[in-house]
């Protein structure tokens, strides 16, 4: 059994008197209910046990076989020391994240993430003119351990950092670069019309003159051209 609450979400062996509201029977259930893991959905065990779905992952994950046994609740309780179990636990989290990135672009995975999107589990866009449009998690690279997860808004088509420090620590590769765009391809009705409202800078109620901006840009381009041609500006 796995503890879903408590200091650092540490896994513990439990007695029969433990409250069912605080503990989960299965590792995947424990992981997805742990604080900070709200972006993850539960990957079906059938998917995890299909070797084809795990192609090449054994090369990237330390303690791969034991980590897989832990995720699928097949690891003997007393087979490891506490230190070894901690190492396998870290590998299991990493392995689950990599499996998760593959699963959420399958038909079943997209359905589960769609439900979370509709509930607003990933938060809502902080941009005022997006009117609280729900967000989707996305990685800016598919390479693990490079960048944290970001949140994509399909109204303004921009990305944002998660508000929570715990969510900022999630590896973006556990969601991948394709997921939100694939979800919107499969469910095109989810994509709202782009917001036509834009913030317009003003000084004392007057819009900043667009021509002045154009002139400044032209001056900058002119100076860069002079530098390339070796022409010095007059003093």
Terminal Cα distance for the chain, rounded: 78
Q: What percent of the chain has pLDDT over 90?
A: 66
For range 213-221, the mean pLDDT: 79
pLDDT at 189 over 90: yes
pLDDT-based confidence at residue 24 (cuts at 50, 70, 90): low
pTM for the structure as a whole: 0.78
pLDDT category of residue 59 using cuts at 50, 70 and 90 = very high
| Average pLDDT for 143-159 | 96
C-alpha distances out from residue 142 to 52, 71, 102, 146, 147, Å? 19, 22, 11, 9, 9
Confirm if 27 and 92 have CB atoms less than 8 A apart.
Answer: yes
| pLDDT for residue 11 | 36
Residue 202 has φ and ψ, to the nearest 5°, of -140, 150
HSE of 136 in the Cβ direction (CA atoms, 13 Å)?
29
């Amino acid at each position: 059994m796995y503890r879903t609450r408590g200091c650092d979400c540490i896994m513990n062996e439990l007695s029969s008197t433990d409250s069912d509201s605080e503990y989960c029977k299965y590792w995947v259930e424990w992981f997805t209910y742990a604080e900070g893991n709200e972006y993850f959905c539960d990957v079906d065990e059938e998917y995890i046990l299909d070797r084809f779905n795990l192609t090449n992952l054994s090369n990237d994950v330390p303690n791969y076989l034991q980590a897989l046994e832990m995720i699928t609740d097949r690891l003997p309780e007393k087979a490891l020391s506490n230190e070894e179990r901690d190492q396998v636990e870290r590998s299991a989290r990493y392995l689950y994240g990599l499996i998760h990135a593959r699963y959420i672009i399958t038909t079943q995975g997209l359905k589960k993430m769609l439900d979370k999107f509709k509930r607003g589990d990933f938060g809502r866009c902080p941009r005022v003119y997006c009117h609280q449009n729900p967000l989707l998690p996305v990685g800016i690279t598919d390479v693990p351990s490079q960048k944290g997860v970001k949140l994509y808004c399909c109204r303004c088509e921009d990305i944002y950092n998660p508000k929570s420090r715990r969510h900022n620590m999630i590896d973006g590769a556990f969601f991948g670069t394709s997921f939100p765009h694939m979800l919107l391809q499969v469910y095109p009705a989810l994509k709202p019309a782009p917001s036509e409202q834009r913030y317009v800078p003003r000084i004392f109620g007057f819009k900043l003159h667009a021509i002045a901006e154009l002139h400044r840009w032209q001056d900058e381009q002119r100076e860069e051209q002079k530098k390339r041609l070796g022409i010095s500006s007059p003093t």
